[in-house]
Structure 1
């Protein structure tokens, strides 16, 4: 099986928009669930609903893959699973290193979904000498001093950073210098990388803040709905609405 170092996904070169690429894992998750239930075909409406998008957007996304459903039949589930997996580069082996084996790093190491999605945790790395040699998820933790050798030996092109924020940039620089070209960053900091290196940031605190905003909005809507409705404001006075009648979502300071 090919390793990830010399085999990058072909999505950008084929002109697939980044927004479409971001939705492909959602479609794949929904399709995998259908496949596990032995569902042979699915309509665009059913799949769009399962993935949380509208059907027109789904059909547009699939057109970039060269996949068109059959009218009255829909899409072949197994073929779509293969198509999307191929586009995402999941039909090959992607060795991954996790740097920073604290609570979060250990939790990721123990996550069972990597292997089934084309990823293999090749190494766990930490700066704490007391962690060296300890088994986490059946893998011995290695010291960060050996990072470059580990990257080269395992042909790693994807690194996961779960260190404290203050250490993340230095770890990132070493990963990039060693040949890593894609980084998933869980550290609470913004990383600076050269052209040709892709970074995806996962910030749990930001996601919680967004959820808090929506909870606040729902509570306000509930209070508003409980109040007696007053006279409707004239159309020209409804300044809070956007051009499409939407209320702009503004995050609290």
Structure 2
């Protein structure tokens, strides 16, 4: 099976928009679930609902792949699984290294979904000498001193950074210098990379903060008056801002 160092996905060369590329894994996940249930075909409406997008957007996305389905029948599930997997580069073997084998790195190493999606954890790397040689998910941890040799020996082009923020940029620089061209960054920091290197950042704290915003917003809506008015706290603020006759002053107080 080919390795990631010699084959790159064709999405950019074929002019597929980045937004479409970002949705392809969602379609693939939904299609894989259908395939596991031996569902032969699926309509655009059913697949769009399963992927969480609207059907018009799905049909537009699939048009970039040259797949238009059959009127009255829908899309062939197995063929779409193959087509999207090929477009994403998942029909070949992608060796991955994980750098930083703390709690998060160890959890990633133990994640069973990599192998079934075309990724092979080729090496686990950490700076702590106490971890060197210890097996995590059946893979011995290797020291960062050997990072460049590990990458070359395994033909790695994808690196996962799960280190503390302070070490992430240095690790990133070494990965790039050794030939890694795609990085998945779990460290809570922004990485600087040269042109030609792709970085995807996963920040759990940011995602939680976004959820907190929506929770606060929902709480405010629930606190609104029964007749659909503004929340009580806002009403009190507006009342305090009104003049003696109940009108809002022309010039608001500083």
> TM-score if structure 2 supplies the norm length?
0.88
Cross-structure match for 2:241? 240
Distance 1:246 1:197 in 2: 59
Q: 1:241 to 1:166 in 2, by over 3 A?
A: farther
Q: 1:139 to 1:71 in 2, by over 3 A?
A: same
Kindly report structure 1 stretches of 4+ aligned residues shifted beyond 6 Å.
Answer: 231-235, 237-253
Q: Give a deviation string over 1:203-234, Cα, whole Å, max 9, x none.
A: 0000000011111111111xxxx6545x9999
Distance 2:21 2:94 in 1: 18
How far the C-alpha of 1:190 sits from its partner, in A, is 0.3
Unpaired runs of 5+ in structure 2?
none
How far the C-alpha of 1:56 sits from its partner, in A, is 0.2
Q: 1:215 to 1:156 in 2, by over 3 A?
A: same
Aligned length: 247
Q: 1:241 to 1:234 in 2, by over 3 A?
A: same
Distance 1:114 1:244 in 2: 67
Distance 1:191 1:207 in 2: 18
Unpaired runs of 5+ in structure 1?
none
Q: 1:175 to 1:17 in 2, by over 3 A?
A: same
> TM-score if structure 1 supplies the norm length?
0.89
Distance 1:154 1:244 in 2: 78
8 Å contact from structure 1 (residues 213, 252) kept in 2: no
8 Å contact from structure 1 (residues 48, 55) kept in 2: yes
How far the C-alpha of 1:241 sits from its partner, in A, is 23
Q: 1:251 to 1:70 in 2, by over 3 A?
A: farther
Q: 1:70 to 1:176 in 2, by over 3 A?
A: same
Distance 1:151 1:56 in 2: 42
* Structure with bigger gyration radius: 2
Q: Give a deviation string over 1:127-160, Cα, whole Å, max 9, x none.
A: 0000000000000000000000000000000000
Cross-structure match for 1:177? 177
